[in-house]
Amino acid sequence: MLLSNVSIKRPIFAGMMNLLIIIIGLLAYQKIGVDNQPKVDLPIVNIKVQVAGATPKYIEQNVLNPIESALRSIEGIDTIDSTASNGSVNIRVTFVLSENINVAVNNIRNAMTSVTGKKNWPSNALTPVVKPVDQNASSILQIALSSKTINFGIGNLSEYINSIFVPNISQVKGVGDIGIAGLRLPEFDISFDNDKLDSLGLTAYNVINQIKSQIVTVPGGQVKNEKLAYNINSTTLPNSINEVANIPILTTAGVIIRLDELAVIKDTIQEQTTYGESDGKPAIIVYVSKSSDANTVEVANNSKKLINNLSLSVKDKIDIRIVNDTSRFISGSMNAVNFDIILGAILTILIVYLFLQDWKSTFISSIAIPTSVLGTIGLIHLLGFTLNSMTTLALSLSIGIIVDDAIVVIENIHRHILLGKSARVATYDAMKEIGIPAIAITFAIIAVFMPVAFMEGKIGRYFYEFAITVSASVLISLFVAFTLSPMLGSRILNKHDSEKKKNFILEKFESIFIYWENLYSKLIIVTLKNRLVTITMGFFVLILSLILLHFVPTNFTPKMDTSYFAISMQLAPNTSIPETTIRSQEIANWLRKYPGIKNVFFRLTDQNDSVFIVNLVDPIERNFTQQKLEKRIRSELKKFIKNPDEIITLGRPGKSQQPIQVILTNPNSQDLEKYALELQKYLKTIDGVEDIISDTPPPADEIKVVPNFVMANSLNVTSDAIATTLSYLFYGENVGSFNRNSDTFDIVAKVNDKQALTPNDILSVTVPGKNNTPIPLNSIAKISLDKQNSVIQHHNGIQEYTVLADYTGNDLGKVLKQIESYLNQNRMLGLSYDFSGDSKDLKDTNTAVIQTLLLSLLFAYMVLCSQFESFITPFVILLSVPLAFSGAFIALLILNQPMSLYAMVGLILLTGLVKKNAILLLDFTEQLIQEGKNVNLALQIAGKTRLRPILMTTFAMIFGMLPMAFGSDLGHEQRSPMGVAVIGGLISSTILTLLVIPCVFSIFKEAKMILSYKPSKK
């Protein structure tokens, strides 16, 4: 082989090339990002429209429907999911993967311009905000800030967070969005008394418009000449509460009075709309998210350093605590993978030493491990990958693989040296003999991952990084095996090393191996004499494993012990913030009594909704798993539910975590709601299905104001005047800003709290009629109590209900089949359904993996045909793949591991790995046949000769993966199914390949000889 010949002749060249790989890898290791998952760029665009004071029904009819109609004309849209709630609508547009995100955003913006330009677009609707959704930006830190002293209240704390804490955190490189819950900034409140307004002949509508006209921030422009320019400042922002109190108000009688004569003006803080609490203390919660391309661990570490410094500067006034840090799990998981890699490498080296029984040969083989790992890190860094769950899994799995080529090379050199050749000649001859099989093995593995390029969606992106990492590692290991291994082998190996006296362990192992070798020599003779029986037994094992596969549980991803979990509480729609706070405190106090719980914090996400984050002590400090604690807490949380409209579930709100998500669509909303309830009842009958809810909350009580249009028109009262007055008084109106400490804050006007307690208080207001004459609302309108949906949801333009559920079992695939069967057997007229979340991902993964496996086998066959210049030998080699799957399925079943995304990745990897044994065996057999030996004799000689490298490489891979398969450190739940599947497959493949493949090859060869036989002509 050219490369190996050059390396033998030019050792410095070979050494420098490998040293360059190591240096590049070391430099990349210092810079490469660390994250939990691979970067996934999906073309998703979010549209948000604010419509102050509008109900969901109004928004659906006047905002949502026109937008959805406009979106239908845009090409490349996959799904449209919309949610209309009080005051706003969110629309999530998912495009097909091939669409360019920038083009998609521009197309949507153009559509929004068309919609908002029409006459029927609501005047109170703000301009739609169109933004691409960053799938890779995620919350990494949650910080609770609370006051330590009575004198430093929530207002002071809010000012500190708004003006100092958040601006400092936002300067950290890699920090993206920052969210705040519980912030209450300074505010001037203007509280009207309706009785006073009536006595002065004024309406809130008129007074508020007068205030607005006197607090202005309109730019004044410039006065300039050839030499000078002056800015004109025409702003009239007040600097104190007295200035607001002295604002002149003109009454309908033409008298000017001060504002404080008709309203109470307070220097206060914003009205409470959210609330946060950490370990029983009121707190403001700050959420720090990383930007898309940022290194999660680096951003978190830099942020924590800054937070520590800020905490020291205000230690007497403010308690600053990090209450949730997702980077800890990522760091711990990465450390665990690093440990697996190191332990796997050590075990691999020990296996190599046992088989080669020579420290020099072991050293040459083992040097491929650090060189290949560092080289792979350097390459994936150049490709923009991070060290994440998929790339580190690939590196961990590759430990036993990357040493394979070097093992095969060194073992062959060692064998030729024992034949009496010099090290240099032995190396030349060994490389000539083993070069083609080594290349075939490597490219057969790489060929397996080529179809990954054709996989679509999120699953394809996950597999892509794994595939590139494995391919890079085996390519670099091949380069090492063709450069460094022959260079060192030709210089430091010699025959005398093998003649040295071995210690007891090595001698014992060698005697055991010789026994295996002799046993195999006898077995292969027996199997070749009974070929059909042997093949039938192999076929029986395959059929048995396929039957057992039916009993292997399936899941998208295994549940992990992350040492924290969330709880969501949704109370009845009309529950107030104080009541929600009290109910949340009850649960938080109860949770803190559990042993193993480190701390608990919660925040209100709406007036009737709250989310709890429960942090546990590290797994090593407790004698129970997170899943066991969750199961206990889930059963006991039911005691906090006080009426049927309340929901308390484990997990975050919405569709972010629940593995079971069934989207039901039907134009008839009443029928749809009934069907959703029936589906929820059915789900309760399935074992392991918990926390069954609909993501559409129950209807909320609503006060409906119904004008008498005839009477209103006779008094010149417009519907706009009625709606605006009610919004001003009961929703509140921002009438301007005031200056304080180089910052500006809001001035808000509304009715005083005592006159906004009951529905009848609405009728006590006055609205402007002709010449701003106050008209009592009760003379032109009446009110009624009604129930309206607090949320309206659409899927692809049709009203939808999504039924959500958690699953605590181990076989999600089986449950999905049950649900799908129920939906098909009980489908109502006009109903459509779809799955989302893990449910959809699991279905997509199954389809994608089957397609990929078939393409992988085709590509591998094509590569092997090219290598062997034969159609028969590659076909026989590929028969080792189904034999490997037998072991993988049986191992997963015995160890109760699910057929998850990670196990499926292991199956694809197996497709590339297990062909190695057959290649080594049949390549040497072909060489012996060409030398004149008959097929069966060639198989016997090749089997005995190749047994050592076959077992050595197989055991090296198995022992390299043992830490992954049976580890108990952070994140092992993800890695274990993959390791178990690969180890099981390697064991079955090795045993069956050594016995079944020779029989199949023998039959094919004999058939070929018979078909090609030409009788001699007389």
Q: What digits encode the pLDDT tens for the residues 730-761?
A: 888 899 999 988 888 999 999 988 888 888 88
In which band, very low, low, confident or very high, does the pLDDT at 222 lie, cut at 50, 70 and 90? confident
Distances (CA, A) of 1016 to 745, 1007, 1009: 106, 19, 15
Query: What are the beta bridge partners of residue 141?
Result: 288, 325
Instruction: Give the pairing of strands 186-192 and 743-751.
Output: parallel
Helices 389-402 and 404-418, packing angle to 10 deg:
10
Q: Which residue has the higher pLDDT, 302 or 867?
A: 302
Q: Which of 245, 70, 109 is nearest to 797 (CA)?
A: 70
DSSP 8-state symbol, 33: -
DSSP 8-state symbol, 524: H
Residues contacting residue 710 through CB under 8 Å, at least 6 positions apart:
none
Instruction: Using the structure block, give the residue that is written with the tokens 């290649």.
Output: 919
Backbone torsions φ then ψ of 749, nearest 5 degrees: -115, 140
Provide the percentage of residues in the chain whose pLDDT is more than 90.
23
Alpha-carbon gap, residue 137 to 133, rounded angstroms: 9
Q: In this predicted model, what pLDDT tens digit does every residue of 971-989 receive, in sequence order?
A: 778 788 888 998 999 998 8
Per-residue model confidence (pLDDT) at position 169: 93
The mean per-residue pLDDT over the stretch 836-854 comes to 82
Query: What are the beta bridge partners of residue 740?
Result: 743
Query: What are the beta bridge partners of residue 267?
Result: 188
Please give the order of strands across the beta sheet that includes 647-650. Answer: 281-282, 276-278, 597-606, 609-616, 564-570, 647-650
Radius of gyration of the chain (CA): 36
Per-residue model confidence (pLDDT) at position 311: 92
Instruction: Give the pairing of strands 318-325 and 175-181.
Output: unpaired
Alpha-carbon gap, residue 154 to 166, rounded angstroms: 16
Residues contacting residue 424 through CB under 8 Å, at least 6 positions apart:
8, 490
Do 475 and 378 contact (CB within 8 A), yes or no? no
SS3 for 190-221, per residue?
EEECHHHHHHCCCCHHHHHHHHHHHCCCCCCC
Residue 148 has pLDDT above 50, yes or no: yes
Is 717 strand, coil or helix? coil
Residue 928 has pLDDT above 70, yes or no: yes
Q: In this predicted model, what pLDDT tens digit does every residue of 930-972 receive, in sequence order?
A: 888 888 898 888 888 888 888 888 888 888 888 888 877 777 7
Structural domain 504-550+870-1017, CATH architecture? Up-down Bundle (1.20)
Of 73-87, 470-484, 866-880, the poorest mean pLDDT is in 866-880
Residues contacting residue 604 through CB under 8 Å, at least 6 positions apart:
181, 274, 275, 276, 577, 580, 581, 584, 610
Structure token pair of residue 866: 């090219």
Is 89 strand, coil or helix? strand
Superfamily of segment(s) 41-134:
Multidrug efflux transporter AcrB pore domain (3.30.70.1430)
Q: What angle do CA 786, 788, 789 make, to 5 degrees?
A: 165
Largest CA distance in the chain: 136
How many residues are listed for the chain in this entry?
A: 1018
Do 910 and 986 contact (CB within 8 A), yes or no? yes
Alpha-carbon gap, residue 286 to 167, rounded angstroms: 12
Do 283 and 277 contact (CB within 8 A), yes or no? yes
Helix residue ranges, H only, 931-971: 935-966
Is 189 strand, coil or helix? strand
Do 584 and 182 contact (CB within 8 A), yes or no? no
Backbone torsions φ then ψ of 688, nearest 5 degrees: 90, -15
Alpha-carbon gap, residue 996 to 1003, rounded angstroms: 11
In which band, very low, low, confident or very high, does the pLDDT at 117 lie, cut at 50, 70 and 90? confident
Residue 818 has pLDDT above 70, yes or no: yes
Q: What residue type is 815 in one-letter code?
A: V
Residues contacting residue 819 through CB under 8 Å, at least 6 positions apart:
660, 662, 682, 683, 686
The most confident of 436-440, 679-683, 784-788, by mean pLDDT:
679-683
In which band, very low, low, confident or very high, does the pLDDT at 497 lie, cut at 50, 70 and 90? low
In which band, very low, low, confident or very high, does the pLDDT at 47 lie, cut at 50, 70 and 90? very high
Instruction: Give the pairing of strands 689-694 and 222-224.
Output: unpaired
Per-residue model confidence (pLDDT) at position 1018: 46
For residue 916, the number of C-alpha atoms closer than 13 Å in the C-beta half-sphere is 31
Structure token pair of residue 91: 């629309």
Alpha-carbon gap, residue 58 to 28, rounded angstroms: 56
Alpha-carbon gap, residue 686 to 668, rounded angstroms: 28
564-699+792-836 has the same fold as 203-261+700-789: no
Q: In this predicted model, what pLDDT tens digit does every residue of 1-43 receive, in sequence order?
A: 568 888 888 889 988 999 999 999 999 998 888 887 787 777 8
Backbone torsions φ then ψ of 320, nearest 5 degrees: -115, 120
Alpha-carbon gap, residue 775 to 766, rounded angstroms: 5
Do 349 and 362 contact (CB within 8 A), yes or no? yes
Neighbours of 423 (CB within 10 A): 20
Question: Which CATH code is given to the segment(s) 1-31+357-495?
Answer: 1.20.1640.10
**Average confidence score pLDDT of the chain:** 86
Alpha-carbon gap, residue 841 to 459, rounded angstroms: 8
Residue 541 has pLDDT above 90, yes or no: no
In which band, very low, low, confident or very high, does the pLDDT at 93 lie, cut at 50, 70 and 90? very high
The mean per-residue pLDDT over the stretch 258-274 comes to 91
Distances (CA, A) of 711 to 715, 719, 778: 7, 12, 11
Residue 456 has pLDDT above 70, yes or no: no
Helix residue ranges, H only, 283-403: 296-313, 326-356, 359-366, 368-382, 389-402
Q: What residue type is 534 in one-letter code?
A: T
961 CA to centre of own chain: 25
Per-residue model confidence (pLDDT) at position 547: 86
| Helix and strand element counts for the chain (H, E) | 35, 31
Neighbours of 348 (CB within 10 A): 29
Do 615 and 665 contact (CB within 8 A), yes or no? no
Backbone torsions φ then ψ of 186, nearest 5 degrees: -55, 150
Alpha-carbon gap, residue 915 to 990, rounded angstroms: 10
**Is the domain covering 203-261+700-789 a CATH 3.30.2090.10 domain?**
yes
Do 356 and 411 contact (CB within 8 A), yes or no? yes
Q: Which of 980, 978, 982 is nearest to 902 (CA)?
A: 978
Instruction: Using the structure block, give the residue that is written with the tokens 């929600």.
Output: 580
Distances (CA, A) of 408 to 355, 476, 876, 947: 12, 15, 21, 11
Do 367 and 348 contact (CB within 8 A), yes or no? no
Alpha-carbon gap, residue 347 to 967, rounded angstroms: 14
Structure token pair of residue 9: 């002749």
Per-residue model confidence (pLDDT) at position 134: 77
Of 348-357, 400-409, 571-580, 772-781, the poorest mean pLDDT is in 400-409
**What residue ranges do the domains of the chain occupy?**
1-31+357-495, 41-134, 203-261+700-789, 504-550+870-1017, 564-699+792-836
DSSP 8-state symbol, 552: S
DSSP 8-state symbol, 164: I
Q: List, in sequence order, every beta strand (DSSP E) within 51-208.
A: 77-85, 88-95, 129-132, 139-147, 175-181, 186-192
Structure token pair of residue 319: 């308690």
Structure token pair of residue 502: 């071995």
In which band, very low, low, confident or very high, does the pLDDT at 171 lie, cut at 50, 70 and 90? very high
SS3 for 861-874, per residue?
HHHHHHHHCCCHHH
CATH of 564-699+792-836, one of 3.30.70.20, 3.40.50.1100, 3.30.1490.150, 3.30.70.1440: 3.30.70.1440
Is 255 strand, coil or helix? coil
